[in-house]
Amino acid sequence: MMKRPVAAIPFAWAVLILFVLSPNGFAQPLKVFILAGQSNMEGHAEVRTFDYIGKDPATAPLLKEMRNPDGTPRVCDNVWMSYLTGPYDGSANGEGLGRLTAGFGARGDRPTKDGAKIGPEFTFGITMEKELKEPILIIKTAWGGRSLNTEFRPPSAGPYKLPKQTQNQWDKHPQGAHGIPKLEDRKKWQEDKDAASGVFYRMMVEHVKKVLADPARVCPAYDPKAGYELAGFVWLQGFNDLVDGQTYPNGNYDEYSRLLAHFIRDVRKDLDAPKMPVIIGVLGVEGEKNVNFRKAMAAPAALPEFQDNVVAVDTAPFWDRDIEAAQPKQSEYNEIVDTAHALKADGSLDKERKWDKYWKPIGTPLPEERNWRFVTIDANESKDQLEKFTDRRFRDIKLPIGMENWFKPDFDDSQWTVGKAPIGKGVWKHSGIALSKYPSTWGHGEFLLMRSTFEIESLKYDSYRIAILARQGFHVYLNGHKIHTYIWWKDKPQYRSIVLDKEQTKHLKKGKNVLAVYANDQYSPNFPQHYAALDAWIEGITTADRERLDIALEEVLSPKDREALQGASNGGYHYFGSAKIFAQMGKAFAEANLKLMK
């Protein structure tokens, strides 16, 4: 489609216009490309993963096009972006504007701000600029977690209707089960489905029309006399449909093919561009797997009506096998390094765990021999108490008079209960572990305050960490200084490893040290689940032991695995958040689009 507005342009803008002339001397229309889809079109590849592109000889040349000589991301002189995105529900959409560079990837709840991520738009624009050698406008709209069968549903596809096979299953369960609504709730379910259908399709179309109503607002090089041409539309979506067994029972994705064909027709109709080239980015998460879905995505390109103007580009070939192999090892590695000490099934400390011998408890007496002084209290003021529905599981409360400085070294705790840790209550069952035999009983209060002292003769270690057993959130204080806060909960009974930085360890000293911890036990006032445990100490590791530990951990995560993981910043469903994958996809989409244009 070509548009040639006749409105006059102010002289100041005319000075900025870059005229690109065709051989016959007439200015060429501005090439406009639309990119749309869900989270993978947003793009979750962090800029820090760029280096990995250069480690592969096949993709190293692409990295040179993406970077300036000083290593910073390239800024395209002749490519401008308008990017509409926002939270999953689209409630706070915003438009990102500017010359194309890195940062037009996923932006979460800050849609107008550089997100330090890329999607396929970056190399798509770079490739187009290199080949076309003229001003380019990219209009991108993308939101995570949106399906074609509902939120992006095209108008001509008709209302959402359950497949017969799914409907039969629903009919067998009039009382509802496993996500099936009760019979009396199904009318409301359909109304909600109809209300959600097509909402993001309309947002996409409305935004494109808004930009095209005044292209110069985004692209100063726009020449209103030459107009613009809708030169391509790239669709990269699919994950929410891939995993929707309700809409596509037994992996039958024929309905997706039907919906996508309607989508292409409707987009062209609504944008008055009947022959606009369309690129279908065939979802390639998990590589060559998901064969049925990938075939369904590509199928519309084979329809007679779409010959020579719709093409499917398979993204599975860009899947990175090295990252795929390394990510499960990374999870195992993280579990090891995040766990200071594990517990046996009976709740006792596992002293045979081989990873624990490198870190050493600091100070005397040893942790298992130390006495703690502790007291429990409840929240007495209404503002400090849990509501019926709350995210304030861990919170600071007003302490009784005289206890405000309870964590300070000179605080008088002589009237507190004395005992050894862990201090606990109830039975903490999780992951095959039952923790119930506590050296000291927590008591009835929701909040536990505990203090202990230890003596240090030498600070010979290279690094220090807290080893802490806690079910809910906590504060940790060292010699009167808060050195760590955790505000959520972890239900697996184990001692977590919290590595300390220099600002935190500067409070360690030779001689007497005071360690204090504040924590609570409740999850919800409706489900108190009165079980908890609390214990903590500080450990150190020497440089030599750190080197030995790193070598030992190579059996879990090899140097090759570590190198591969430098190229990842997210989960597999986001192509590992790998700039290498997104860069190859963007280039492939542009090359396919260029062929259709010719």
pLDDT digits (tens, 9 = 90+) for 511-532: 999 999 999 987 666 665 678 9
Strand bridging mode 440-441 / 423-425: parallel
Q: Give the chain's domain count.
A: 3
Percentage of the chain modeled with pLDDT above 90:
87
Residues 173 and 316 placed together within one structural domain of the fold: no
Residues 354 and 311 placed together within one structural domain of the fold: no
Q: Report angle CA 402, 407, 412 to the nearest 5 degrees.
A: 55
Distance CA 586, CA 591 (A): 9
Beta bridge partners of 152: none
Instruction: Write down the pTM of the prediction.
Output: 0.81
Say if residue 78's pLDDT is above 60.
Answer: yes
Q: Does the residue 569 lie in any domain?
A: no
CB 264 within 8 A of CB 310: yes
CB 84 within 8 A of CB 92: no
The mean pLDDT of 440-453, rounded to a whole number, is 94
Say if residue 14's pLDDT is above 80.
Answer: no
User: How many other C-beta atoms lie within 10 A of the C-beta of residue 227?
Assistant: 18
pLDDT score, position 529: 61
Beta bridge partners of 281: 236, 313
pLDDT tens, residue by residue, 448-506 = 999 999 999 999 999 999 999 999 999 999 999 999 999 888 889 999 999 999 999 99
Residues 137 and 251 placed together within one structural domain of the fold: yes
Residues 363 and 253 placed together within one structural domain of the fold: no
pLDDT score, position 6: 37
Of 108, 105, 67, 115, give the one whose Cα is nearest residue 86: 108
Q: Does the residue 140 lie in any domain?
A: yes
Q: Among 164-173, 336-345, 388-397, whose mean pLDDT is lowest?
A: 388-397
Q: Does the residue 23 lie in any domain?
A: yes
Check which CATH number belongs to the domain holding 515 and give it: 2.60.120.260
Residues 521 and 541 placed together within one structural domain of the fold: yes
The mean pLDDT of 295-322, rounded to a whole number, is 98
Q: Does the residue 567 lie in any domain?
A: no
List Cβ neighbours of 503 (8 Å cut-off, separation of 6 or more). Answer: none
Say if residue 205's pLDDT is above 80.
Answer: yes
Residues 313 and 337 placed together within one structural domain of the fold: no
Residue span of the structural domain in which 240 resides: 2-158+198-320+575-597
b/e per residue 153-176 (b: at least 16 CB within 10 A): bbbebeebebbeebeebbeeeeee
Beta bridge partners of 516: 451, 477
Mean pLDDT over the full length of the chain: 93
Distance CA 520, CA 488 (A): 11
List Cβ neighbours of 479 (8 Å cut-off, separation of 6 or more). Answer: 409, 507, 508, 509, 513, 514
pLDDT score, position 145: 96
Distance of CA 202 to the CA centre of its chain: 26
Residues 397 and 278 placed together within one structural domain of the fold: no
pLDDT score, position 13: 40
Q: What do you get for the CA distance between the two ends of the chain, in Å? A: 15
b/e per residue 452-464 (b: at least 16 CB within 10 A): bbbebeeeebebb
Of 326, 366, 353, 364, give the one whose Cα is nearest residue 549: 353
Residues 216 and 308 placed together within one structural domain of the fold: yes
User: How many other C-beta atoms lie within 10 A of the C-beta of residue 302?
Assistant: 11
pLDDT band for 592, please (50, 70, 90 cuts): very high
Kindly state the tokens that stand for 46. Answer: 């962090």
Of 180, 166, 39, give the one whose Cα is nearest residue 573: 39
pLDDT band for 5, please (50, 70, 90 cuts): very low
> Cis before residue 274, ω within 30 degrees of 0?
no
pLDDT score, position 18: 40
Residues 304 and 379 placed together within one structural domain of the fold: no
pLDDT band for 20, please (50, 70, 90 cuts): very low
The mean pLDDT of 259-284, rounded to a whole number, is 98
Q: Does the residue 561 lie in any domain?
A: no
Strand bridging mode 310-314 / 278-282: parallel
pLDDT score, position 17: 41
Q: Does the residue 503 lie in any domain?
A: yes
Residues 253 and 272 placed together within one structural domain of the fold: yes
pLDDT score, position 27: 79
pLDDT score, position 15: 37
List Cβ neighbours of 395 (8 Å cut-off, separation of 6 or more). Answer: 379, 384, 520
Q: Does the residue 247 lie in any domain?
A: yes
pLDDT tens, residue by residue, 537-554 = 999 999 999 999 999 999
Residues 415 and 454 placed together within one structural domain of the fold: yes
Lookup result for tokens 């298992």:
368
Kindly state the tokens that stand for 63. Answer: 């990295």
pLDDT score, position 128: 98
Residues 306 and 395 placed together within one structural domain of the fold: no
pLDDT band for 94, please (50, 70, 90 cuts): very high
Q: Does the residue 370 lie in any domain?
A: yes
Percentage of the chain modeled with pLDDT above 70:
93
Check which CATH number belongs to the domain holding 271 and give it: 3.40.50.1110
